[in-house]
Amino acid sequence: MLYFVETYFATHYLLLTFITSLGTLQLVAARYGWRGLSLVEKPFWSGWGYILGSSLVAGGFTWFFLTTPNLLSPGPAGSELMLLMGLGTAGALVFTLSWTSIREKIRARKGNPLPAPDINVRGLDLLREMSIWQAWQQTRKLTVQSRPLEVQ
């Protein structure tokens, strides 16, 4: 049974997991060059992603340890922490993918065309030059175009 000892502790832990997961996603985006996972538009210098990600992770932990009173008193147990961590991580992923999709939609409306899809690129490598929404639309178009005609 889930039993959150103090509401403030659960809220702080949820925010900690959200912020640090957001930072981890930025580090991954910088490492692999995934524009569709980066909160900032693809910069000229990839170090911005590392700085942003590291700042979010370090800032999240610093904020948590400085603002959470009674940190060493008994708090949530394993199942509660796992639930809060899952919610925070899922929230960070949804936020990141939504933000990048909105950013890329605005970019496309300003006249910057989407790169031509490479049919050999699959999976997360699609996120190198486009958002998850654009990648989904591109693969959907390619799937519809490659279907054989049905004979009735």
pLDDT of residue 1: 47
pLDDT digits (tens, 9 = 90+) for 78-135: 788 889 999 999 999 999 988 888 887 777 777 766 655 555 655 666 666 666 666 6
Task: For residue 152, tell me if it sits in a domain.
Answer: no
**DSSP of 67-105:** H-TTTTS----HHHHHHHHHHHHHHHHHHHHHHHHHHHH
- Tell whether the model's pLDDT for residue 149 goes beyond 60: no
pLDDT of residue 55: 96
Task: For residue 117, tell me if it sits in a domain.
Answer: yes
Task: For residue 2, tell me if it sits in a domain.
Answer: no
Task: For residue 142, tell me if it sits in a domain.
Answer: yes
Based on the structure, what is the number of domains in the chain? 1
The predicted model gives 17-37 an average pLDDT of 89
pLDDT of residue 16: 95
DSSP state of 16: H
pLDDT of residue 80: 83
Task: For residue 93, tell me if it sits in a domain.
Answer: yes
Range of the domain at 88: 7-146
pLDDT digits (tens, 9 = 90+) for 55-93: 999 999 999 999 988 777 766 677 888 899 999 999 999
pLDDT of residue 47: 83
Task: For residue 47, tell me if it sits in a domain.
Answer: yes
